[in-house]
Structure formats: structure tokens, C-alpha cells
Amino acid sequence: MQASRRKFFTKLGLTGLTGLSFPSILSAINPKGMTQNDSKWNGLTILFQGDSITDGARTRNKDWNHIMGHGYAYLIASRLWFDYPKEDLMFFNRGISGNKVKDLLERWQKDTIDLKPDMLSILIGVNDVSRIIANENSIETWHENYKTLLDTTKKELPNTSLILCEPFLLPADWAKEKVDAWETVIQEMQVIVRQLAKSYNTIHVEFQEPLNKACQNAPAKYWVWDGVHPMPAGHELMARVWINEVSKKLDFIKNAN
């Protein structure tokens, strides 16, 4: 095994990820006793950042039963760990329920920079919507804060590949009554994330269109029970979409469909 996995990212960059295959020295069960809280990991590390959708009621200890939460991040990690036990993958979940983009900024050093992930997946925005609607914040400030996150990451972790996920909304439960106002802000955020993904040359994951299509087979509440928080089927959809997009950059990952 090469001395440092990150040398590959330095040499190849995001567009050079295709075709990489990583030999394994550890099993997914981690027999050497390293904990998930360790930043010293020899294989490919993937970090999930965000709010409650990412958090998934994860534990804040070393309990492997719940350490990845119970949402899309867990489904992605469990599937890739199972399918690729020789790839020496490690996943981290640092999503925190209720977080807004400014909250990510405040804890970015400890919960992102210090972990030194090879790949960083970000899904943030839904908790900012109500503040923007109430004029307690602005979409411009949200945009600038998001850019600051990315600029900081690029400066401190120049070899980390970024995965930007768009926030989403479906007309279910309370969101039905607020769908017009909320949809306006969410759509603005989606455009911003799309532009940032292009500007920073990141992997881009869009959830809105797949969710809209899924509503042709079952009502919105089947996928996202209150308009913003996914049902189990919604998390599975997100996991499949995420894996499919990332698989375009990492050849050893097969399409999830």
C-alpha cells in the first residue's frame, strides 16, 4: 500500500479519480482497534457534513451500532463497506440537527479540517430557509458563508475532493401550507449550489429531480414525511443518487441502481 492515500489526490485531482482501486490492509471491522474518531486512517476517508438530514440521530460516542446515524449517510456507508471490504474505506458523520451554514463555519476546524477527509460531502440549507423568509438572514449571506466554507476547505485541505448536495423540498405535512415561500428560497439555494459545484470543480448531487420523479409512484409524504425530512424510502433514494454521482468519479464504485 502506498505511504499516503492523499498523494493520489495531489497528483490527480478530482478529474483524475477515475479508475483508482485501493488495496486493503484493514477490514471494515477495523481489527487494529482504530476508532472512527481517529483522523489517522491510511485508506480513503469520506466525511458527511450537514444538518438533521445527515445527522440521522447518530450517537456521539464509539458505538458502531449508531455512529453513522440512521439516514442516507448510514446507507451509503453500509453499502460501500459491504460491497468493497478490500478498499479500506472509512466514513465519518458530523451532521448536527438544526445546523445552519453559519453553524458549520463555527465548527469547521474541529469537525472537518482536523479530520482531513479525502472526500467531503456537504448537504446544508433547509434550516436557513425560515430565517431568510423572515428577513433575519439573506440568500446573499447564505451564499457568502457557503463560499467561505469551501474557500477554507480548499486552503486547509487542498487535496480533499468535494461533493456538494442540493437541499430539497416536497409538498408534504406543514410544508404544503408554506410551499410557495419555501420553494422560492430552496430553488435559489439549488442554483447557488449548482454554481458553486461548477466553480469549485466538485461532484454535484441533485436530489430534487429524483424526488419529484419518485412522487409519480407514491405521494410526497411517502418519501419526505414533513416536506424536508426523508422517510426511510427517501433516505434510500438519496443514498442511491449519491452513490451514482460519486461512482462517476470513483470507478471501483458500481452504480446503485
Q: What is the DSSP string of 138-188?
A: -HHHHHHHHHHHHHHHHHH-TTPEEEEE-----S-TTHHHHHHHHHHHHHH
Q: Give me the chain's average pLDDT, please.
A: 85
Pairwise pLDDT comparison (6 vs 216), residue with the higher score: 216
At 180-202, the pLDDT tens digits run: 889 999 999 999 999 999 999 99
First to last CA, the chain: 31
pLDDT at 253 over 90: no
Give residue 250's pLDDT band: very low, low, confident or very high (50, 70, 90).
confident
- Tell me, what DSSP letter sits at residue 214? H
13: which 3 cell numbers? 485531482
Question: In the predicted model, what is the mean pLDDT of residues 162-181?
Answer: 88
pLDDT top residue among 4 and 159: 159
- What domains sit in the chain, N to C, each tagged with a CATH number? 41-246 (3.40.50.1110)
Q: For residue 204, give the H/E element and its range.
A: strand 203-205
Q: What is the pLDDT of residue 85?
A: 92
Cα gap 225→164, rounded to integer Å = 23
Q: What is the dihedral of CA 109, 110, 114, 120, to 10 degrees?
A: -80
For the entire predicted model, the pTM comes to 0.83
pLDDT, tens digit, for every residue of 46-75?
A: 999 998 999 776 877 777 778 889 999 999
